[in-house]
Amino acid sequence: MDVFFWRLFLGSATLLAGFTSWSLVCLILNVREARSTGLPYVILPCSLLGAPWLLSQPVVLPLLKALPRTWTSKWLPLLIFNDGWHLGYTPFEQVGADTFLAVSPGGFVLYTCDRHVSTQLFQDGRFGKPAHLMQVLNIYGPTITGTDGPESRLYRRITAPFFREDTLRQVFTHAIEGAQVLGLALNQPAAYRQLRTLAARLSLNLLTRICFQSQNQEDLIEALSFADLPTKGYRMTYSEAMHTLLDNYQTVFLFPRHFLGKINNHVEHRSH
């Protein structure tokens, strides 16, 4: 038994040392390439969307946050996927530029708040996007965001007629109607504790009504009162399925699709 554990320890240590060495070499090469661009850059110890970081984040992140902020203030916020939208101009202010690179062993991420740079990125065909990373969004089929090149442009041409004046008018009208129903729901005792869930259900109903025309005001009233029932043949309601999927997006992102399809009685499998 002692020999088994000793071999297990040596094997794990070898794998860890090999992975660390490979990551360090990749980081050095990427830093050299970042310097050649002339753009300011921030070095990250791991990739924002890397599986090792996403898996270890619940354990490692609290430890990193406990370190002095002067050690982590520049790079740690760039590794927290969900909080990126709340940073505002702070990362650019710390770097001292409106455009910079985040360099990790997995590659580069370009951050910019310069409208001219954004326009160039969207209009210049030489700049693609990492469709292989965005395929996590292709849950029910290909999407504009999860594809690149001719396929993405095809989807843009198909969806362009949808974004018309009458569509925007419907969004505004249904949003006002939905806000009125939400206001009534919030008058119920302790409803404020479920504000996030209620707001999410309102958004989901609005998207479904406009994009798929498969729900109405009565469905919204039932959803906000938690009186909606699963459709025949399903174990979860539409709202429960979509929210379960979004709440567990990291699991869906990390596990192969064929593996998820074989999981029995699992929330992600049920939500599909």
**Each residue's pLDDT tens digit, 213-249:** 888 888 888 888 888 888 788 888 888 887 777 777 6
| CB contact at 8 A, 177 and 200 | no
- Which is nearest to 179 in space by CA: 194, 199, 193, 196? 199
Q: What mean pLDDT do residues 83-108 have?
A: 88
Could you give the percent of the chain with pLDDT greater than 70? 89
- Which is nearest to 250 in space by CA: 61, 27, 17? 61
3-state secondary structure of 21: helix
Of residues 249 and 122, which shows the higher confidence score?
122
Q: What is the band of 97 on the pLDDT scale with cuts at 50, 70, 90?
A: very high
Which tokens in the block code for residue 270? Answer: 């049920």
Q: What is the band of 36 on the pLDDT scale with cuts at 50, 70, 90?
A: very high
β-bridge mates for residue 111, sequence order: 100
CA angle, 214 then 215 then 220, to 5°? 165
269 pLDDT above the threshold of 70: no
Q: Using CA of residue 253, residue 255, residue 256, residue 261, what is the dihedral sign?
A: negative
267 pLDDT above the threshold of 50: no
State residue 196's pLDDT score.
82
State residue 32's pLDDT score.
94
Q: What is the band of 257 on the pLDDT scale with cuts at 50, 70, 90?
A: low
